Amino acid sequence: MAAGFDPSGRLPAVFTTPGTSSFTEFLSLAAPDLLPGRRPLPVGASADVSPHATTIVALTTADGVVMAGDRRATMGNLIASRDIEKVFAADAYSLVGIAGTAGVGIELMRLFQVELEHYEKIEGAMLSLHGKANRLATMIRNNLGAALQGLAVIPLFAGFDVDAEDPAHAGRIFSFDIAGGVYEEKGFDAIGSGSLFAKSALKKRYRDGVSLDEGVRLAMEALYDAADEDTATGGPDLTRRIFPVVMTATAEGSRRLTDDEAAAVAEEVVRGRMENPGG
């Protein structure tokens, strides 16, 4: 039987206790075993026992934010998956991408999605964008023990700030460290093994106030450059037709580019590289 269910069928007292709008806080009372970071780990390093997710890039545009992630997961020198998805909509106006231990990252991101939706339903209003980033930081902080044993996971969070005074500067990006530090980034950021190369590419090409379409193209170029230099980052797979996941968050909400749209951009980037491999 799943945790938190009373055999008599009635809702247990912890469900009807008023006070919290946080799903994580509720879980810690109703079903603490479902929370990541609460499980005891065996002593010693646990890296390379499970797949690792790699590069995510995000950048702000005049209309909002763009986030893109490659599709590769690695385990040591092996490719664990060539079509993993690492970029998700956290809610209607924000996006989250994960790098590091894939299993922990996906669990954390799922919990984060429920956390935001739960708050919105109970309170009847959404958390502020900074509030969401701080919530995510708390979750990362709770994973510190596991992170030090090699199961680290780092998210990248970006969203459209519906409370912003100037809609042209409503796109915001937040990065995190394993200790739970949260930092607002200006313009663009990347995480994961290929982030060094993706950021170098973006540094040369990114301009303040780019359009959304240009932003998508820039993100795709940056991922190509990361895949060019980093073995753990996958490039566009033209034979199997697997392309990076690209998402946007604008005033209209968060949206994932369809496979065809992402394929079109990726193919254009590849065409450009046929003439000039350096971009």
Partner 1 sequence: MAMQFYASPEQIMRDRSEYARKGIARGRSVVVLTYEGGVLFVAENLSTALHKVSEIYDRIGFAAVGRFNEFENLRAAGIRHADLRGYSYDRRDVTARALANAYAQTLGAIFTEQSKPFEVEICVAEVGARPERDELYRLTYDGSVYDESDTGTIAMGGQAEAISEVLRGSHRPDMSLQDALRLAVRSLGSVGGEGGQPRRLEAGQLEVAVLDRRRTGRTFRRITGAALTGLLTAQEGEGEGEAAAEEPATGEAAGAPEVAGPGSSPADKSPGGVDPTAGGEA
Closest to partner 1 by CB, 33 vs 166, is 33
* Minimum distance from residue 23 beta carbon to partner 1 (Å): 6
Residues that bind partner 1 (CB under 8 A): 2-4, 8-11, 15-16, 18, 23, 26-27, 30-31, 34, 85, 88-93, 106, 109-111, 113-114, 116-118, 120-122, 124-126, 247, 252-259, 261
Q: How far apart are CA 193 and CA 105, in angstroms?
A: 15
Contact 277, 98 (CB under 8 A): no
Judged by CB, which is closer to partner 1: 2, or 43? 2
C-beta closer to partner 1: residue 4 or 167? 4
Catalytic site positions: 54
Query: At its nearest, how many Å lie between partner 1 and the CB of residue 89?
Result: 4
DSSP secondary structure, 217-257, as one string: HHHHHHHHHHHHH-TTS---BTTTTB--EEEEEETTEEEEP
Cβ atoms of residues 55 and 84 within 8 Å: no
Beta bridge partners of 242: 237
**Nearest approach, Cβ of residue 88 and partner 1 (Å):** 6
Q: How far is 267 from 96, CA to CA, in rounded Å?
A: 25
Round to whole Å and give the CA distance between 167 and 161: 8
Please state the closest distance from residue 49 (CB atom) to partner 1, in A. Answer: 21
Q: Please count the residues of the chain.
A: 279
Q: Judged by CB, which is closer to partner 1: 120, or 228?
A: 120
Q: How many CA atoms lie within 13 A of 117 on its CB side?
A: 10
Give least dist CB 263 to partner 1, A: 13
Whole-Å CA distances, 70 to 28, 54, 162, 239:
34, 7, 28, 16
Q: How far apart are CA 151 and CA 41, in angstroms?
A: 10
Nearer to partner 1, 18 or 44 (CB): 18
